[in-house]
Amino acid sequence: MAALLEESIYNLIPQAPHKPFKGPRYISKLNPYVKHTIQQRKCQWKTMGPAKVHAPSPKDFLQKHSKEPKLPKRKKDHAEKKALKLSVPHRTDHPIMGIQSQKNFINTNAVNVIMGVPKKPVPVCVDKHQGDKFLLETSGLVPRYLKKKDYGVTPEYVIRRNEEARRAQEAYDAYVKKTLREKAMKRLSDEEREELLDGLKKNWEQVHQAFQSLSVEIDTLPKKLNKERLELQMKQLEHDINTIEKYKVIYIANK
């Protein structure tokens, strides 16, 4: 029935396609500011060089010695040139000398050489057949460190470190002994044992009395939990009483 209602002769007439309505295009308010910022940061010569380069003239070619530094022109000296004085004095000149000494340097040097102690040659070693020489003192072949005054003496920092380690070990041993004394087990006396046993029996009687006071019909969960709790307490108390009665000597660890 619905298909018959949809059929119509008007459907045979071609209809113009329906165009959806489009709103105005969105234009950002910051568009001029963005364009201005990009234009300021743009550099025409950043990657491909300047946009326009002035072509050099063919007449301005590079000439020889054109890039060498040029010295300023020398000024003409119109003053009269003075005659240079001869370096060798004349026979008639009496030049003034410095302080004259009557010491005979030749004899003095000869006496110093004769009386002086000759220098001892520096000990060297040769390690190659070419004759390369090296100082013997720094070569490692001379026992320099064995002849030191403090050779074989324990350094002060080692002594100080050993003393600190010894004091730390003594402090640790004292702490361990103190801890062991504090945690040592204590023996219960007969009076304390009897007092503890009486207390456990009284507790057992109280729990047993509470257990006897329970109702005959236990039909709720709290009643069941209470009964189980009382049974566990009675079992634990019975176990403790039997243990204390079995052993005459009891030790207790100090906390």
Q: Residue 232 in contact with residue 240, Cβ under 8 Å?
A: no
pLDDT reported for residue 169:
93
Cross-strand pairs, 186: 252
pLDDT reported for residue 157:
93
CA–CA dist 148, 139 (Å, integer): 17
DSSP-derived letter for residue 41 is H
Distances from the Cα of 3 to the Cα of 6, 7, 8, 10, 14, angstroms: 5, 7, 10, 15, 20
pLDDT reported for residue 95:
67
* Torsion over CA: 48, 53, 57, 63 (sign): negative
Element (H, E) at 186: strand 185-187
Q: Residue 245 in contact with residue 251, Cβ under 8 Å?
A: no
pLDDT reported for residue 1:
47
Tokens for 128, please give them: 């190659």
Query: pTM of the prediction?
Result: 0.32
CA–CA dist 165, 10 (Å, integer): 111
Of 253 and 243, which is predicted with more confidence? 243
CA–CA dist 126, 132 (Å, integer): 6
pLDDT reported for residue 82:
62
Element (H, E) at 232: helix 221-246
pLDDT reported for residue 100:
73
Residue 134 scores a pLDDT above 90: no
Domain spans, the chain: 185-253
CA–CA dist 223, 214 (Å, integer): 8
Q: Residue 187 in contact with residue 224, Cβ under 8 Å?
A: no
Residue 74 scores a pLDDT above 70: yes
pLDDT (tens digit, 9 = 90+) per residue, 161-171?
999 999 999 99
Band of pLDDT at residue 78, cut at 50, 70 and 90: low
